[in-house]
Chain A
Amino acid sequence: DQQVKQNSPSLSVQEGRISILNCDYTNSMFDYFLWYKKYPAEGPTFLISISSIKDKNEDGRFTVFLNKSAKHLSLHIVPSQPGDSAVYFCAASRQGDKLIFGTGTRLQVFP
């Protein structure tokens, strides 16, 4: 039962350009969405989140967009930097309940 899906397993972007990572969900009861970044051999690190009552949240180079009608969210990173190379997980929760993670997208930012 894949309630949170990340259909792109990998993404390669040139340094300085925009990275767009996508995520779809099926459960309309989710009310909070989060992006986590994960380096190899480390735990997931919280990056940015958005409540279902908003459609955009921005934090420095990172912006998350939420389209509730399409059950879709995206993470924009601009400008992309080599240090952004990692696996990005989309996650969703309902009323602060457990996080349901997507399968992850491996982002590689090359010079």
Chain B
Amino acid sequence: EPEVTQTPSHQVTQMGQEVILRCVPISNHLYFYWYRQILGQKVEFLVSFYNNEISEKSEIFDDQFSVERPDGSNFTLKIRSTKLEDSAMYFCASNVDRGTGELFFGEGSRLTVL
């Protein structure tokens, strides 16, 4: 069964460092998303991406965040200068269309900022 894969599974970084989280969505999917879950809290929307551009972003997704799909298969989330409060589980998700809202999630990348 096709699945969304994410790397790394866990990354530890120092505050102020840049981090890139990588995702390979399901191959025929057209819509891509990043969500995050701070420990013990709910899953929060960060950004959606379609047709090589951001379609929507949340208040969390400030200028420190960026996304791109550099090669038609990978979908990356970059945090330019990490803060302590960026520590969370980051989930990539994809969807073949927007009709149902049913997203397929990866297993997540745990980011720990020290």
The interface residues of chain B, by DSSP majority, are classed as loop
Contact (Cβ within 8 A) B102 A46:
yes
Partner of A43, one of B44, B58, B101, B105: B105
CA distance A36 to B58 in the complex (A): 21
| CB-CB under 8 A for A32 and B100, given A97-B56, A100-B45, A103-B41 | yes
- Number of residues on chain A facing chain B (CB within 8 A): 23
Closest A residue, CB atoms, query B95? A96
Closest B residue, CB atoms, query A2? B42
- Does B33 reach chain A (CB closer than 8 Å)? yes
Contact (Cβ within 8 A) A43 B91:
yes
- In the bound complex, residues from chain B placing their C-beta under 8 Å from that of A103 are 41-42
CA distance A34 to B35 in the complex (A): 16
Candidate in B43, B56, B97, B101 with the most chain A CB atoms within 10 angstroms? B101
CA distance A100 to B56 in the complex (A): 13
| CB-CB under 8 A for A43 and B42, given A34-B102, A97-B98 | no
- In the bound complex, residues from chain A placing their C-beta under 8 Å from that of B56 are 97-98
Binary flags per residue of B70-114, CB closer than 8 Å to A gives 1, else 0: 000000000000000000000101000111111111111000000
Chain A nearest CB from B46 CB (Å) reads 9
Contact (Cβ within 8 A) A95 B107:
no
B residues with CB within 8 A of A: 4, 33, 35, 41-45, 48, 56, 58, 91, 93, 97-108
Q: List 5 A-B contacts (CB under 8 A).
A: A44-B105, A46-B102, A89-B42, A96-B97, A96-B101
